[in-house]
A and B are shown apart, each in its own frame.
Chain A
């Protein structure tokens, strides 16, 4: 399978090389896993969600996204407090496949050091370039 096309990488989001995306919303950060991540996992049958109120460091594992045969950790793109969790994924984990950047969002983080940590993330052009290299 070639990685240079066929993956949706929307403009305006921040990305990590672990295949998470981050969207800034009025000082908060909505996060999820990318189209590449969901296509690689294929049919998501379970999402292990983080707890509301949990304080997390950047790159800390927040949980797992799992298909029948594969388990993938996902990590906090920025540090802060988990203020919202997409509970719908408990019963509809397939939303990650259907809409990785929309209804399949995973959590909202109130960042503690946003300006510095955003610099560690990459934009859609750099992430696309990264996908062609793996």
Chain B
């Protein structure tokens, strides 16, 4: 199968090391995952995330529909604000995690994971029969960039008339950036302050507007040391921040409670898909929990490595990497509840060797030094 291309493919092909991700030919790194990760933690980086799926949900029943197919409460969100939420199946497993932008009570944009584009859209369609809504898939017509890091706002402020002081964390709105019609949101997947930009009317077949804005942002961020970043550093940054990757850390057989994502499950809002199953799991009691792991010495844990206590296998690593920010191996995985306390000492088996590890909280970095709450 030929890989799909984003609006930025021409740039990536010339400047990056490409790899296949979710059916797309995407940049793994430009200069390298380590400098790109550090650029985002210390200054600013820009990612092409056009591979993500974008679907408008519109109509008189849009809010009621979204409240039925996702776990968080969309009615509690004010206009021009975004919400992190989950789609669950009928056994309470996670079908996807997503961010939904709410512009008004009848107008939303859902951002799905790239690998779930068809699955989510058909799930939405199948469950929309009793709702007066329209679903409009615009992934190929709209490009999407993510500008992340402590200098992200200073970079984008140079290109927009919207005062970013008034666009706070998770706000979103229609505006112009670099003269292009965009949806601008103060969101991201790195733990840092940042902005995500949907470039409207920038199709894969006619990518000139997307390419122009990409270069305008690189130019605007030059004084702050902006670098283009690949999906390698994106994965490291989200893991350092303790955020889940769909397909690894959350799947159709993992429920939101054990994934420690109960803060986006609002039982009080009324009926929603998966509610009964999740409530049953809740009353049966939590068996395992998603935790953070930090290697005490050397070694890099990877997905599928075993987590052990003495000789007993507790669970498996779902994501693991080397963290350039804290200079050691870090991971996420699931262990039985009784071993999930912060400070618990365990081992991780990597290539047949046991490495000492400690259960730690999220994020992995010191939030006083890095991330959106730094310095506060």
Contact = CB atoms under 8 A, between A and B. Distances in A.
Contacts of A42: 17, 29, 32-33
Given A42-B32, A43-B32, A68 B232 contact: yes
A1 B18 CA distance: 10
Interface in B277-324: 298-300, 302, 321-322, 324
B235 A45 contact: no
A48 B235 contact: no
B110 interface: no
B34 interface: yes
Contacts of A71: 300, 302, 351
Contact of B324 (A1, A64, A68): A68
Contacts of A20: none
Given A42-B29, A48-B353, A69 B321 contact: yes
A120 interface: no
A90 B33 contact: no
Contacts of B302: 71
A46 B32 contact: no
B34 A69 contact: no
A69 B298 CA distance: 16
Interface in B193-219: none
A60 B329 CA distance: 26
Contacts of B353: 48
Q: How extensive is the interface on chain A, given as a class?
A: 10 to 19
A67 interface: yes
A35 interface: no
Contacts of A64: 351
Contacts of B350: 48
Contacts of A1: 17
Contacts of B17: 1, 42
B172 interface: no
B348 interface: no
Interface in B238-284: none
Nearest to B32: A43
Given A45-B322, A64-B351, A90-B298, A69 B28 contact: yes
Nearest to A94: B34
Contacts of A45: 34, 300, 322, 324
Contacts of A69: 28, 33, 232, 235, 321
Interface of B: 17, 28-29, 32-34, 37, 232-233, 235-236, 298-300, 302, 321-322, 324, 329, 350-351, 353
